[in-house]
Amino acid sequence: MYSFDIAAGSKAELYRDLHAALDALTAGESDAVANMANAASLIWQVLPDLNWAGFYRNVGGELVLGPFQGKAACIRIPFGKGVCGTAAATRATQLVADVHAFPGHIACDAASSAELVVPVIHGDALVGVLDLDSPTANRFDAEDAAGCEALIRLLAPRIAG
Ligand code: SME
């Protein structure tokens, strides 16, 4: 059993403690699936107001569903399509206040309103993306984006396979 000390104070404290917990949970483990699965679980437990949290992997230039928490989701997403495909194609974090206003958004769960997608880059390679969905519009801000980018910098070499 794992138990982590996560501060319930500011968002900065939340991401600081989440980073430390993720480091402890994945340090020394080289299996990409195990590390993505535990990362998705930890993020799901710690970050409030999510309805989906998980990974899509770059499999031969297409995003394929990886470990996640939430409802069953779309399995394959072409680069350039939807929020995840845009993050993969541009290698830039996508912070979307209202997915219904995002051209080409792929609705996997009708409850989703806001979305944050962070590309996972290791060396020159795009490993995949971290996708977070929330039922609350405007749920994610620049602090969430920076916090998740820091988590992904830690995790990238541990899920690169
Ligand atoms: N909404 C995403 C698809 C993935 S699901 O939300 C899990 C998108 O537009 O890329």
Q: What is the pLDDT of residues 106-158, one digit of tens each?
A: 888 888 899 999 999 999 999 999 999 999 999 999 999 999 999 999 999 99
Q: What is the separation, in whole angstroms, between the first and last Cα of the chain?
A: 25
Look at residue 81 in the predicted model and tell me its pLDDT: 96
Q: What is the number of the ligand 1 atom nearest to the C-alpha of 105?
A: 9
For 46-61, the pLDDT digits (tens) are: 999 999 999 999 999 9
Residue 81, ligand 1, Cβ within 6 A: no
Q: How far is the CA of 19 from the centre of ligand 1 (A)?
A: 24
Residue 40, ligand 1, Cβ within 6 A: no
User: Where are the strands (E) in the chain, listed by range?
Assistant: 52-58, 62-70, 76-78, 94-96, 114-122, 125-134
For 94-110, the pLDDT digits (tens) are: 999 999 998 888 888 88
Q: What is the number of the ligand 1 atom nearest to the C-alpha of 77?
A: 10
Q: How far apart are CA 154 and CA 77, in angstroms?
A: 25
Q: Domain for residue 3, yes or no?
A: no
Count structural domains, the chain: 1
Residues of the domain holding 41:
11-159
**Helix, strand or coil, per DSSP, at residue 103:** coil
Residue 133, ligand 1, Cβ within 6 A: yes
Look at residue 1 in the predicted model and tell me its pLDDT: 62
pTM over the 0.85 mark: yes
Q: Domain for residue 1, yes or no?
A: no
Residue 77, ligand 1, Cβ within 6 A: yes
CA 31 to chain centre: 18
Q: Domain for residue 5, yes or no?
A: no
Longest dimension (CA), the chain: 42
Residue 81 near residue 104 (C-beta atoms within 8 A) = yes
Look at residue 147 in the predicted model and tell me its pLDDT: 98
- CA neighbor of 46 nearest in space, from 72, 70, 22: 22
**Helix, strand or coil, per DSSP, at residue 142:** helix
CA-proximal residue: ligand 1, atom 4 (nearest): 108
Q: Domain for residue 6, yes or no?
A: no
Tell me the average pLDDT across 8-22: 91
Q: How far is the CA of 47 from the centre of ligand 1 (A)?
A: 18
Q: Tell me, what CATH number does 47's domain have?
A: 3.30.450.40
- Within 10 angstroms of residue 36's Cβ, the number of other Cβ atoms is 25
Look at residue 107 in the predicted model and tell me its pLDDT: 86
Sequence-separated (6 or more) residues with CB below 8 Å from residue 126: 58, 88, 91, 119, 120
Look at residue 161 in the predicted model and tell me its pLDDT: 74
